[in-house]
Chain A
Amino acid sequence: AQSVAQPEDQVNVAEGNPLTVKCTYSVSGNPYLFWYVQYPNRGLQFLLKYITGDNLVKGSYGFEAEFNKSQTSFHLKKPSALVSDSALYFCAVRDRAGANNLFFGTGTRLTVIP
């Protein structure tokens, strides 16, 4: 069975500091991994994905994520946080051998403090 864990419900970081939002996953085969961001009362926006290739994936708005197969993790990172990055972040996974839909984590609320 596929699953995704986001161990932190809330992450606070000062503006200008680096940020990390954690994600670990469990799949039976090789994973497709995704990060999405959600602003209040809005749909989810795609940030980045890992399919294959380099373990460091670069995405929208200066975000990047590092795929670590041995630790089954896919943490989201940004070198310098902006106040406008404050939002709800979701990690998602699809088993390559599975159906087309994604399994989502419970989300992490990021607050960037000015």
Chain B
Amino acid sequence: DGGITQSPKYLFRKEGQNVTLSCEQNLNHDAMYWYRQDPGQGLRLIYYSQIVNDFQKGDIAEGYSVSREKKESFPLTVTSAQKNPTAFYLCASNPEAGELFFGEGSRLTVL
């Protein structure tokens, strides 16, 4: 079945550690996105990529990094510079001007 796969679903990190969240899609979409969800704040855009080897910062990019070496993959690294990384992270993709398709999310907890 076509869709977006995020892994891991749950992740625990010690302060000062970098972690990488995986996002893979087999929908053949050019555009991919990373959102952060916190209670009561809705979804906030971290990074997005419209095409392979290109990506742009969203509204809250500080402390995060991404790469887009393949069309299918858009991993997100949460670096130690992110001051409050505990959150639910959602990856999405869409065809041009279409609705977003979301993965099931990754919940990161900093211990």
Contacts and interface: CB of A to CB of B under 8 A. Distances in A.
Interface in B21-42: 31, 33, 35, 40-42
A100 B42 contact: no
B42 A42 contact: no
Interface of B is mostly: strand
Contacts of B94: 100
Interface residues of A, number: 23
B40 A43 contact: no
Interface of A: 9, 32, 34, 36, 41-46, 49, 90, 92, 94, 96, 99-102, 104-107
A42 B6 CA distance: 11
Contacts of B97: 32, 94, 96, 100
Contact of A90 (B6, B43, B45): B43
B105 interface: yes
Nearest to B35: A104
Contact of A106 (B31, B33, B40, B58): B40
